[in-house]
Structure 1
């Protein structure tokens, strides 16, 4: 039963999607000061303690301070040109409202303190991956995915060292906790039955690291390079099937054997990425930013899910609960961002930015849980410092995607789903930095 395995697969893979300000499985909401310039210059400008994520070497440019904040995301998803059918060719009944991403908040917090003139210590807590989606109950693509609630929380203790007055390095191990619950439906319509429910839960803790270098090339030009390592998870959990059956006694005796709870697991590696950027201080008022990020999405080529104690049923169902490989065929991507900041006066700085972020998945492999396309983002931001000790940053971002297609074929227990998706989102962020 491929659907059951794919829902467990989505526990990890879909966890990193949703409609945040980065594509594929990643999100960017770890800094609101960076959000104002569409995260251009993220690795080359240590504006506040959020540099723990952007470039840990940047802590060498700071004193003792704390930064806390979050981003509010409001997404809009329009679905059209739908063709949803069972394996026998009959149309799947239902609706396609598309209102499947509830409003959500992504929080973060950081602390930095000098140890001596060259050594700094910091601690960051942030959410690098998150997904909360919930299609309507009668969604025509409910056999491909109904509801998802997954998040990854990362804790990153960090150190930086100033090698010279112009060059610093930083390193931080990451402790990453993933938890999630996913729901989807199974269909036995071809066997005289109705929908059954599949509920999946799983979790794991895995480790990685972030490392960076920050260098002043001239008095006005700074270069930053940050490497975020891959993180390998071994998710353990269970898959529960309920409501499988049929009004036809012969089929009911077969389908009802699907009901039960099965231990399951998968090995998943979320990819490494490299962020390179420049910060150029044009004059006392203007600062320019440019950056590029490479992400090795090709690690998500295929994933195998294994379940234990699964039943073996007659054809065409068979024993498809034991082990199934899902092809992803994702590709590596380069994303780009440019931005600028204008120092209006000693208290106020104004920001703007633009980013291009391609999707790692094509129409042939896209699914209803991660229906993302090539993305563009425009952002505005401002920082207000009423005192030397305190800065309040705010930012707004609007993203829109190219129209994309989802093409999922049906099987014996799952309706197929073909549709076009038109996605956009608004983001609002606020951050408080206090120096002491």
Structure 2
């Protein structure tokens, strides 16, 4: 059988390699259970050891000499793709992804505090239903990036500063079909696996402007992930194996900077209000470049435009202490997408979205508390086009996030 791919220039769209780095415009904002319950606010309001991520300057604000927190999140994402030209609708197969976080801090005396945290700011999975229209772009993806961050802070009076070193480790499994068929009419496929790592910094400062009124600011630096030993595993008919065969690839991409600024107000010991703005430097991602170990007539190195823009997120939260053992939280967030509608891929569909948040903390014992939060995220409907593959349509997404954790202090 003559392979039917020879007239088709194979483009393996590795946008998802960048998703290992920074979530492809779909950052997983779940680095603290308490903060999730308040719209993911945390830059100006101390909520425990998770300040390591939100604002390292706040480490010394703990009332405990040693503090530990742990959180796990269950993310149930639901995505619909609709093609108005064919009147067909496709959905992703349901499944859960589980980003987590764990932090520990210790006061050192004379205004110094130290902490270390591990968290997953980018991590998700997506599997489209069988035989869906975008199968030649993606069928299945699973990705995760884990960061480890040692942090130190110093505070004196109403002012404090902090710095942390972010060591990121990413992994990817990405599968898509290839338009070449065997004798039974089954399409070929390729499975891409890669790992990458990067180093960045997390800087923060905090100042109490007046009693109960706090200004906070933090900055996470841009950093570059490198995937030098990626592997492309082709499953194709024998007639196509001379052009499409297993081999390595390399790539690198810069993760964007993040700048957060916020204010919090605690008028008394029962209420707290906070709001913040997050600026993300997504415009660093203008082009995707992939270098395959060997090129063939149909498999070439890739250089594709992405043309993303910088974006903003707006977050608000409120806290109410309802007694000695119970604290209630609620929040709202509005995240604006950086993606370009002309170069839009269905690997991690994204658009502007609203987040509705709620949560609570229940003190179990004097030193141990149980934390829980819920987030409902709803994306705006978007009509977008993936120029490299010629695939487009309407997308609509929704996610339900269930967060659980424990806090310990002594």
Query: How high is the TM-score relative to the length of structure 2?
Result: 0.92
* Structure 2 CA distance for partners of 1:2 and 1:230, relative to 1, 3 Å: farther
The 8 Å contact of residues 368 and 406 in structure 1, kept in 2 or not, is answered as no
Hey, which of these two has a bigger chunk of strand by percent?
A: 2
Deviation of 1:198 (Å)? 0.9
RMSD across aligned C-alpha pairs, in angstroms? Answer: 2.3
> In 2, Cα distance between the equivalents of 1:216 and 1:146?
50
**In structure 1, what is the equivalent of residue 381 of structure 2?**
403
1:381 aligned to which of 337, 359, 362: 359
Q: Does 1:264 align with 2:256?
A: no
Identify the range of structure 1 (417-426 vs 212-221) with the bigger mean alpha-carbon deviation: 417-426
* Structure 2 CA distance for partners of 1:2 and 1:33, relative to 1, 3 Å: farther
Deviation of 1:410 (Å)? 6.9
The 8 Å contact of residues 22 and 255 in structure 2, kept in 1 or not, is answered as no
**In structure 2, what is the equivalent of residue 80 of structure 1?**
82
**In structure 2, what is the equivalent of residue 68 of structure 1?**
70
Q: Secondary structure at the match of 1:12?
A: helix
> In 2, Cα distance between the equivalents of 1:14 and 1:367?
15
> In 2, Cα distance between the equivalents of 1:12 and 1:104?
18
Per-residue CA distance 1:328-364 (angstroms, 9 max, x = gap): 1111011101111111112211111111101111322
> In 2, Cα distance between the equivalents of 1:15 and 1:132?
14
> In 2, Cα distance between the equivalents of 1:183 and 1:82?
26
> In 1, Cα distance between the equivalents of 2:66 and 2:205?
20
The 8 Å contact of residues 308 and 322 in structure 1, kept in 2 or not, is answered as no
The 8 Å contact of residues 11 and 388 in structure 2, kept in 1 or not, is answered as no
> In 2, Cα distance between the equivalents of 1:150 and 1:15?
9
**In structure 1, what is the equivalent of residue 4 of structure 2?**
none
**In structure 1, what is the equivalent of residue 207 of structure 2?**
215
**In structure 2, what is the equivalent of residue 354 of structure 1?**
332
2:121 aligned to which of 111, 116, 128: 128
The 8 Å contact of residues 193 and 244 in structure 1, kept in 2 or not, is answered as no
**In structure 1, what is the equivalent of residue 17 of structure 2?**
11
The 8 Å contact of residues 96 and 140 in structure 1, kept in 2 or not, is answered as no
* Structure 2 CA distance for partners of 1:14 and 1:169, relative to 1, 3 Å: closer
Deviation of 1:71 (Å)? 1.2
**In structure 1, what is the equivalent of residue 27 of structure 2?**
26
Deviation of 1:14 (Å)? 5.9
Per-residue CA distance 1:266-309 (angstroms, 9 max, x = gap): 11101001011111012332211000000000011112111112
> In 2, Cα distance between the equivalents of 1:143 and 1:187?
7
Deviation of 1:325 (Å)? 1.0
Q: Secondary structure at the match of 1:68?
A: strand
Deviation of 1:24 (Å)? 1.1
In the alignment, structure 2 segments of 5+ residues that lack a partner are 1-7
**In structure 1, what is the equivalent of residue 259 of structure 2?**
274
> In 1, Cα distance between the equivalents of 2:368 and 2:27?
30
Per-residue CA distance 1:136-164 (angstroms, 9 max, x = gap): 231210101111111111111111111x2
The 8 Å contact of residues 4 and 198 in structure 1, kept in 2 or not, is answered as no
* Structure 2 CA distance for partners of 1:83 and 1:103, relative to 1, 3 Å: farther
The 8 Å contact of residues 33 and 393 in structure 1, kept in 2 or not, is answered as yes
In the alignment, structure 1 segments of 5+ residues that lack a partner are 18-22, 85-90, 246-251
> In 2, Cα distance between the equivalents of 1:78 and 1:108?
29
Q: Does 1:327 align with 2:308?
A: no
Q: Secondary structure at the match of 1:26?
A: coil
> In 2, Cα distance between the equivalents of 1:154 and 1:14?
12
Deviation of 1:408 (Å)? 2.8
**In structure 2, what is the equivalent of residue 233 of structure 1?**
225
> In 2, Cα distance between the equivalents of 1:179 and 1:301?
22
Q: Secondary structure at the match of 1:99?
A: strand
5 Å-filtered alignment, 1:276-315, equals 276-311=261-296, 313=297
**In structure 2, what is the equivalent of residue 53 of structure 1?**
53
Deviation of 1:409 (Å)? 4.7
Q: Secondary structure at the match of 1:360?
A: coil
The 8 Å contact of residues 82 and 90 in structure 2, kept in 1 or not, is answered as no
The 8 Å contact of residues 382 and 396 in structure 2, kept in 1 or not, is answered as yes
The 8 Å contact of residues 141 and 172 in structure 2, kept in 1 or not, is answered as yes
> In 1, Cα distance between the equivalents of 2:13 and 2:338?
19
